[in-house]
Structure 1
Amino acid sequence: MDANNSDAFYKKLKDQLADTSVWPAKYMYKFIVPSLPEKVDKISKIFDGLGAIIENKVSSKGTYTSISIRVTMSSPEAVIDKYKEVGEIEGVISL
């Protein structure tokens, strides 16, 4: 995603989150990542100290891992900041 599309996407997401939730609020992140321990660990570390509940599920062929993270976030901006942090990890797909 190029910078302009990324900015527009995050602006729209921020507006939707602000309109649909009272903050702080529980939020669920979902990511798909190649099943490499270092990539899965990097994502988990991004949410360290937040009281997140993290569930990993490896695909039937073992190629990919689905990561679901439930955590209370303080604001729409905090949600987006985490998406951006995770987005810097190569090969991650945010759902």
Structure 2
Amino acid sequence: MDDADKTEAFYKKLRSQLEETSEWPSLYLYKFIVPSKDDKIAKVESIFDNLGAVITTKKSKNGKYTSVSIKVRMENPDKVISKYKEVADKVEGVISL
């Protein structure tokens, strides 16, 4: 199984879990670990612009990484997954939690 297959399997499992555990639309909490560069943090934040998201950030102890938490109302599991994919595509070095 290559990385693309693993990624698709992960998203398929996530979609199933979201459908089983939440009523939609629903508030969803995204968590990302981003290298502490203003442009990368701003890119993540811009992906959630105009969605009414509440965004909080916290730098790691050594300042090398920043935790970005985003609480936003999403319409359905597909929209949740779409945002994860958009962040992964647009922000190099990001880790999704």
- What TM-score, normalized by structure 2, do the two folds share? 0.95
Instruction: Report how far residue 60 of structure 1 moved.
Output: 1.4
Q: Which runs of 4+ in 1 moved over 6 A?
A: none
Counterpart in 1 of 2:46?
45
The match for 2:94 among 83, 92, 95 is 92
TM-superposed deviation, 1:19: 0.6
Q: In the aligned structure 1, how far is the partner of 2:8 from the partner of 2:35?
A: 26
d(CA) in 2 for partners of 1:57, 1:20? 28
Q: Alpha-carbon deviation of 1:2?
A: 1.2
- 1:25 maps to which residue? 26
What SS is found at the alignment partner of 1:85?
helix
- Between the two proteins, the alignment pairs up a number of residues equal to 95
Query: Among the aligned pairs, what percent are the same residue?
Result: 58
Aligned match of 2:15? 14
Q: Quote the Cα distance in structure 2 between the aligned partners of 1:41 and 1:47.
A: 10
Deviation at 1:9, TM superposition (A): 0.4
Gap regions ≥5 residues in structure 1: none
Distance in 1 (alpha carbons) for counterparts of 2:46 and 2:25: 21
Residue 46 of structure 1: CA displacement? 0.2
- TM-score, normalised to structure 1, is 0.97
The CA RMSD over aligned residues, in Å, is 0.9
Which runs of no fewer than 5 residues in structure 2 stay unpaired?
none
Counterpart of 2:60, as a letter, is: S
Deviations 1:28-74 (A, max 9, x none): 00000100000000000000000000000011111000000000000
